[in-house]
Amino acid sequence: MTNLLLGFLPSGSEWIIIALVILLLFGGKKIPELMRGLGKGVKSFKDGVNEAKEEINKAKDELDEPSTTDKEKK
């Protein structure tokens, strides 16, 4: 299965062609800006994922703890 998926990834020479096309389209001055924006986007996405995980774990912990009303009934 993984070999099938890896078959669609570009090889070494194809990466060079892709890089040259990007360089021609955007120019040398725009590429650092694009990469900076991409990095900020990835960081923001990771922060959002971590925040969602924390909220899920917090809700899970609240469900696992017996509530005070359950203690009073016993």
Q: pLDDT tens digits, residue range 10-60? A: 778 888 898 888 888 888 888 888 889 999 999 999 999 999 999 999 999
Would you say 27 and 35 are in contact if contact means Cβ atoms under 8 Å apart?
Answer: no
pLDDT of residue 36: 93
Domain ranges of the chain: 2-73
What are the DSSP calls for 23-72, one per residue? HHHHHHHHHHHHHHHHHHHHHHHHHHHHHHHHHHHHHHHHHHSPPHHHHH
Let me know how long the chain is.
74
pLDDT value at residue 50: 95
Please answer whether residues 26 and 34 qualify as being in contact, where contact means their C-beta atoms are separated by less than 8 angstroms.
yes
